[in-house]
């Protein structure tokens, strides 16, 4: 069982002796007759509770506790006062310099209960601090694990896709109808695994990374994202993109999350085109003002059933023959929530889908 260590500070020797006599059997007692002496003890000994008289020459109890809070913040501080100095007490309490105050002459039972309660607070704070340290350690280990796993998965995946591309160049890919089917299946599986890894990493990073605000050039961001997703999606070269960016105002926001949001919506617009559609089209319109950026992404693809519209942003909800991870639109919603943005969707089956997002401008 831990012995509670109490430091009592008072410039009157009789009070020091009385305190020690009353509580020496319950606690490990330290005494000091001035604020300077108390700070010296605290520099050498771990103390759980500090009790100080308010009116002392050289340094008042409140002044002592301000220094204790700065230098040794863990001990819980109790102030004894025989004077009604309301302003000093209110300031000390509001600033967190004292946990409780007790009027003099103190009552032994009241003071003992206060010491016990103060120690409970000390112990709870100490345990919380230890738990936070453990949590931070676990979080750091998880960060390293996620990075390692993503690297270890993507390296062989890139090699596999490289082999498939070599097979295409050497005409092995199309040697027979059955072989072509196998190669196509392998390529599709690799691309899907790559997409799954990317979605998982986006979800992880979005939930953990702090918001970083910087200038956003929507024209550049959108063209870069289209180039990336066209490379990742077979057949996307047949899709026509119409892009209109009206950005007369400076826009400041979190580029990382904006890229996650737009990237997922562009990827879906590409993926869910109708195979038989001859005029595949994706329209992206951006209007920026000093308060908000409004982005609409419209496709003439497969569309979404009305019954699904209220569920497409749910985690792991998937449509269209179970394509994807069911994380894309969920990540979009979560990233927008971090930016305090909004999203809406309109869709007609076999006609296409329109997503509208609003992102606040922090400029």
The pTM (predicted TM-score) of the whole model is 0.55
- Quick one: pLDDT band at residue 236, thresholds 50, 70, 90? confident
Averaged confidence pLDDT in the chain: 85
CATH code of residue 351: 3.30.565.10
| Same domain (yes/no): 217, 101 | no
Which H or E run contains 199? Answer: helix 177-208
**Residue predicted with more confidence, 148 or 34:** 34
Q: Is the peptide bond before 105 cis (omega within 30 degrees of 0)?
A: yes
Separation CA 95–CA 114 (nearest Å): 20
Do β-strands 292-299 and 252-253 pair in parallel, antiparallel, or remain unpaired? unpaired
Decide if 361 is inside a domain. Answer: yes
In 3D, which of 28, 173, 7 has the Cα closest to residue 77? Answer: 7
Decide if 53 is inside a domain. Answer: yes
Beta pairing partners, 305: none
Do β-strands 28-32 and 5-9 pair in parallel, antiparallel, or remain unpaired? parallel
Separation CA 31–CA 51 (nearest Å): 9
Calculate mean pLDDT across residues 199-209. 70
Q: Which of 72, 88, 106 is the last residue of a domain?
A: 106
17-53 pLDDT per residue, tens: 999 999 999 999 999 999 999 999 999 999 999 999 9
Q: For the chain, give the percent of residues with pLDDT over 70.
A: 85
Decide if 317 is inside a domain. Answer: yes
Q: Which of 50, 71, 106 is the last residue of a domain?
A: 106
Q: What pLDDT shows up at residue 175?
A: 59
340 pLDDT more than 80:
yes
- Quick one: pLDDT band at residue 326, thresholds 50, 70, 90? low
Decide if 274 is inside a domain. Answer: yes
| Same domain (yes/no): 350, 227 | yes
Decide if 339 is inside a domain. Answer: yes
* CB of 295 closer than 8 Å to CB of 244: no
**Residue predicted with more confidence, 325 or 337:** 337
Tokens encoding 280:
């595949």
Decide if 192 is inside a domain. Answer: no
65-116 pLDDT per residue, tens: 999 999 999 999 999 887 656 666 777 776 767 888 888 888 899 999 999 9
| Same domain (yes/no): 229, 346 | yes
Q: Which of 54, 71, 106 is the last residue of a domain?
A: 106
- Quick one: pLDDT band at residue 142, thresholds 50, 70, 90? confident
Q: Cβ–Cβ contacts within 10 Å for residue 299, how many?
A: 28
| Same domain (yes/no): 84, 223 | no
Tokens encoding 347:
């869709």
Determine the 3-state secondary structure of 69 from DSSP. Answer: helix
Decide if 204 is inside a domain. Answer: no
**Residue predicted with more confidence, 286 or 184:** 286
* CB of 244 closer than 8 Å to CB of 285: yes
106 Rama class: left (phi>0) / alpha (psi -120 to 50) / beta: beta
CATH code of residue 69: 3.40.50.2300
Decide if 136 is inside a domain. Answer: no
- Quick one: pLDDT band at residue 318, thresholds 50, 70, 90? low
Q: How many domains does the chain have?
A: 2
| Same domain (yes/no): 346, 227 | yes
Calculate mean pLDDT across residues 230-250. 85
Instruction: Give me the domain span that covers residue 10.
Output: 5-106
Q: What pLDDT shows up at residue 170?
A: 65
Calculate mean pLDDT across residues 189-210. 72
- Quick one: pLDDT band at residue 140, thresholds 50, 70, 90? confident
198 pLDDT more than 80:
no
Which of 36-45, 128-137, 199-208, 236-245 shows the highest mean pLDDT? Answer: 36-45
């Amino acid at each position: 069982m831990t012995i509670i260590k109490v430091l009592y500070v008072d410039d009157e020797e009789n009070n020091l002796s009385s305190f020690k006599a009353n509580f020496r059997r319950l606690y490990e007692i330290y005494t000091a007759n001035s604020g300077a002496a108390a700070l010296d003890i605290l520099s050498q000994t771990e103390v759980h509770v500090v009790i100080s008289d308010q009116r002392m020459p050289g340094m008042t109890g409140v002044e002592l506790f301000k220094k204790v809070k700065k230098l040794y913040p863990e001990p819980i501080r109790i102030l004894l006062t025989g004077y009604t100095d309301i302003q000093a007490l209110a300031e000390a309490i509001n600033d967190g310099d004292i946990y409780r105050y007790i009027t003099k002459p103190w009552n032994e039972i009241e003071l003992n209960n206060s010491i016990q309660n103060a120690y409970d607070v000390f112990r709870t704070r100490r345990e919380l601090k230890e738990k936070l340290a453990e949590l931070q350690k676990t979080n750091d280990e998880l960060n390293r694990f996620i990075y390692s796993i993503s690297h270890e998965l993507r390296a062989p995946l890139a090699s596999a896709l490289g082999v498939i591309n070599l097979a295409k160049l050497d005409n092995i890919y199309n040697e027979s109808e059955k072989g072509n089917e196998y190669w196509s299946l392998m390529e599709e599986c690799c691309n899907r695994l790559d997409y799954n890894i990317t979605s998982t990493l986006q979800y992880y990073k979005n939930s953990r990374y702090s918001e970083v605000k910087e200038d956003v050039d929507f024209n550049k961001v959108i063209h870069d994202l289209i180039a990336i997703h066209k490379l990742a999606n077979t057949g996307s070269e047949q899709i026509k993109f119409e892009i209109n960016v009206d950005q007369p105002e400076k826009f400041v926001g979190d580029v990382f999350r904006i890229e996650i949001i737009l990237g997922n919506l562009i990827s879906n617009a590409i993926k869910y085109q109708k195979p038989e559609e001859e005029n595949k089209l994706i329209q992206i319109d951006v209007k920026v003002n000093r308060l908000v950026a409004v982005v609409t992404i419209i496709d003439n693809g497969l569309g979404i059933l009305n019954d699904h519209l209220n569920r497409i942003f749910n985690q792991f909800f998937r449509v269209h023959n179970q394509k994807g991870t069911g994380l894309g639109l969920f990540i979009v919603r979560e990233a927008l929530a971090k930016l305090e943005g909004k999203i809406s969707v309109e869709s007609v089956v076999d006609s296409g889908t329109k997503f509208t997002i609003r992102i606040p401008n922090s400029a």
